[in-house]
Amino acid sequence: NTVWAYAKAGHSSPKLFDALSQKTIDNFDDLNSQNIAMILWAYAKAGHYSSSSPKLFDAISQKAIKNLDSFNSQALANTIWGYATLGHTSCPKLFDAIAQQTINKLDTFRSQEKASTLWAYATLGHPSSELFDAASHKIVEYADNFNSQALANTVWAYATAEHSSPEVLDAILEKTIEKISTYSSQDISNTMWAYATMGYNIGYVKLDVLISKATTSSMLEKFDVQGIIDLLWSFAVFNYFGNFAAVDLLFSKITMAGLLVDNTNNAGDQKPLSTEALSKLHQVLLWYDEECKRGPLLLPQLREECKLASLSNESRAPMLQQDVSKTLESLVEENSNLVIIHEEKNHCN
């Protein structure tokens, strides 16, 4: 209850959390399922992960896995959410067990618990196809009960886990259009990124609804730089040519963020962009240069930084790019006159 109260109040107390870590381990026999879930939720909510944390969370895993039958939907959801939020990935047996318990008790999960659980497994990168398959039917059936954040987190989870479920994408898109007025900038960014990543054909009418919401003056001011890049990347994937005034404003916000060529002298509290984010921005620039004939949209030094990041980016190719590669390879198999030239360093083109 102590760590829960501090986390709930948003009060940071690293020394207290570290001191209570060992106390928690020493008194494991007194903890029930609700206590375990509450502890994980509190540490995750407080963002506390120190040198003593791995020992605590590994110990909690061993305790929890023996008592999962007694965990209700909220305890299961909070437990896996806590591990994912803190980035503690070294408990695969527990994650498998929670996934199975979630499937068994899925009828008791509220919409927010379903969404946070799927988000957690996608964030952890832990394989859980059976869980995503089982959840698909419930999501379609009860999509109307999902709020904007739950809808956005769910479709983001399916895209991040690369788990194809057309019926889920259809249902969430329909509810997204209905509830678009309640969407935050993060919700919109995550939703558009997810549909673009999955290569889903939204259709021009629904796409216009999403983009109209995303590009209102009040909404544009709320996007952070990462959200802007995801939004612009989605525009490019959807082959969207409209509202260039909003596009120009989005690019100007990237420039004003002070992201210089060395990516270290960032203005204010703006965090340096990752290589993956800069690589994605390079793809965006290529599309606007070649397809829209609009350039230069960023300062030369930042354009160069994006290009270098793209060349050095060793992350796995996006799902859409993988699909294109498979199609090309199948064409080569059918036609001996064709040949694929692999240019790994220039994959963004």
DSSP string, 164-178: --HHHHHHHHHHHHH
Q: Of 217-221, 258-262, 294-298, which has the strongest mean pLDDT? A: 217-221
Burial class (CB in 10 A: 0-12, 13-18, 19+), 23: exposed
Higher pLDDT, 79 or 338: 79
pLDDT for position 349: 41
Residue 125 region, left (φ>0) first, then alpha (ψ -120 to 50), else beta?
left
Selection from 34-38, 255-259, 271-275, 323-327 with the highest mean pLDDT: 34-38
Over residues 163-181, the mean pLDDT reads: 96
**pLDDT (average), residues 16-25:** 78
**108: CB partners within 8 A, 6+ apart:** 72, 73
* pLDDT band with cut points at 50, 70 and 90 for residue 273: confident
Average pLDDT over residues 157-175: 97
Q: Which residue has the higher pLDDT, 46 or 322?
A: 46
What whole-number distance in Å separates Cα of residue 190 and Cα of residue 252?
Answer: 21
Q: How far apart are CA 320 and CA 348, in angstroms?
A: 12
List of residues 6+ apart from 25 with CB closer than 8 A: 55, 56, 59
Question: pLDDT of 96-130, one tens digit each?
Answer: 999 999 999 999 999 999 999 999 999 999 999 99
pLDDT of residue 28: 76
C-alpha neighbours within 13 Å on the C-beta side of residue 302: 23
Q: Which residue shows structure tokens 């047996």?
A: 93
Q: Using N-to-C axis directions, what is the helix angle for 225-237 and 275-290, rounded to 10°?
A: 40
Residue 266 pLDDT exceeds 50: no
DSSP secondary structure of 95-153 = HHHHHHHHHHTGGG--HHHHHHHHHHHHHHT---HHHHHHHHHHHHHHGGG--HHHHHH
Mean pLDDT of 313-339: 69
Which pLDDT does position 47 carry in this prediction? 85
| Of the listed ranges 87-101, 151-165, 234-248, the one predicted with least confidence | 234-248
Closest to 163 in 3D by CA, of 208, 197, 205:
197
Q: Is the pLDDT of residue 208 over 70?
A: yes
pLDDT number for residue 312: 83
The per-residue pLDDT for 125 is 96
How many other C-beta atoms are found inside a 10 Å radius of the C-beta of residue 57? 23
pLDDT at 346: 43
What value does the mean pLDDT of the chain take? 85
Percent of residues, the chain, with pLDDT higher than 90 = 45
At residue 257, the pLDDT reads 73
36 and 60 Cβ atoms separated by less than 8 Å: yes
The residue ranking higher by pLDDT, 343 or 79, is: 79
Cis status of the peptide bond prior to 296, with omega within 30 of 0: yes
Confidence of residue 48 (pLDDT cuts 50, 70, 90): confident
Spatial distance between the Cα atoms of 171 and 188, rounded to a whole number of angstroms? 16
Judge if pTM exceeds 0.75. Answer: yes
pLDDT at 11: 65
CA-nearest of 100, 32, 85, 96 to 60 is: 32
